[in-house]
Amino acid sequence: MQFKTPEEYKPGDILISHGEIQMKIQTISSEIESYFHGKNVLIIGVMKGSFMVMADLIRALHEAGLYDLTVSALTVSSYGSQTVSSKRPTLKHEIDIDVKGRHILLVEDIIDTGYTLKFVIDELLLRGALSIKTFSLLSKPSRREVNIDADYIGFVIPNVWIQGYGLDTDEWGRGNPDIIIGPIVGTIDK
Ligand code: PRP
């Protein structure tokens, strides 16, 4: 998918429509099903932003034939009400399952600086996860500070402030079915 430059967007513009998101999730679900075929997979959503993509992804995985899965979540926050990463993600809610010896699919809504994903992967490995694959609906490589990316990426997006489809601006806008340009464009590092 081709995006415009950040300057060409204005608040409220749709960056990625709900339909485009669903098509992408379907395609990636088939790849994920092929990879995990025959294995029991523990799917962990990194909350809160990933709640919407978690639901659609798990539904699509079921349709693709992946039935042997356990669903869980943990909550990490590095931004709070700020638009600049604290660079120190903190675990706000614990996972309810022992990850030791498990094959894990980690689900993120967005990778920005990369601190959150690195923090979560390190934590799960420390706890004895057997393998970890990562899915992120969005990736914003222009903002990366940690050399990390997801195994499965929905859309590589420009450096624009976005909200919707689970993502917020200070808790506002998570329920929008589309991903839209948030109130501040271009200059913000998230
Ligand atoms: C957002 C998003 C990712 C993280 C990515 O979470 O959901 O988890 O930032 O940023 P990074 O790559 O720079 O670390 P946020 O801390 O805003 O919490 P939220 O999911 O509850 O909105």
Q: Is 111 in the pocket of ligand 1 (CB under 6 A)?
A: yes
pLDDT band at residue 107 using 50, 70 and 90 as cut-offs:
very high
Is residue 14 within 8 A of residue 179, CB to CB? The reply is yes
DSSP class of 119? H
- Section 14-34 average pLDDT: 98
Query: Is residue 134 helix, strand or coil?
Result: strand
Q: Is 46 in the pocket of ligand 1 (CB under 6 A)?
A: yes
Q: Is 79 in the pocket of ligand 1 (CB under 6 A)?
A: yes
Which atom of ligand 1 sits closest to the CA of residue 116? 14
The pLDDT of residue 78 is: 78
Q: Which two tokens stand for residue 29?
A: 């679900």
How far away, in angstroms, is 60 Cα from ligand 1 center? 23
Model confidence over 73-106: pLDDT tens digits? Answer: 999 987 666 666 777 888 999 999 999 999 999 9
Calculate what percentage of the chain has a pLDDT beyond 90. 86
Q: How far apart are CA 8 and CA 152, in angstroms?
A: 28
Q: How far apart are CA 126 and CA 53, in angstroms?
A: 26
- Section 114-133 average pLDDT: 97
Model confidence over 40-80: pLDDT tens digits? Answer: 999 999 999 999 999 999 999 999 999 999 999 999 987 66
- Give catalytic status of residue 151 as yes or no: no
Q: Is 114 in the pocket of ligand 1 (CB under 6 A)?
A: yes
